[in-house]
Amino acid sequence: MKQKNSSEEYITKKYLDERFSVFAQSIRRETQFIVDTAIEKLENRLRQTNDKLFNMLDKIVKELEGMREDRIIGDHQAKQVRQQVDNHEKRIKRLEVRQTA
């Protein structure tokens, strides 16, 4: 037995275009959600990595500042020792001159 189909049961181009449009919009929303989620995760990872990096750099900078201060103090102390040695050499020469005279 053959059944008769009414015109409402036929798939038309208009019907397919509408369904495809709905499907395409759905795919776009899903894709956008996936992309947004991936971007958010990446941004979070970058933030965490940057935080770790800046913490390490802070430690390095503090250590360098300490080394610089130590060097400045060492240079100053060396200068004082040189001045004392020069002063002692002058005094020793004067004493030697007095003893030989």
Per-residue pLDDT of 24-49, as tens digits, reads 999 999 999 999 999 999 999 999 99
Predicted pLDDT at 93: 85
Burial class (CB in 10 A: 0-12, 13-18, 19+), 44: exposed
Query: pTM (2 decimals)?
Result: 0.52
Output the pLDDT for position 1: 47
The share of the chain scoring above pLDDT 90, in percent, equals: 72
Distance CA(26)–CA(32), nearest Å, equals 10
* pLDDT for 68 beyond 70: yes
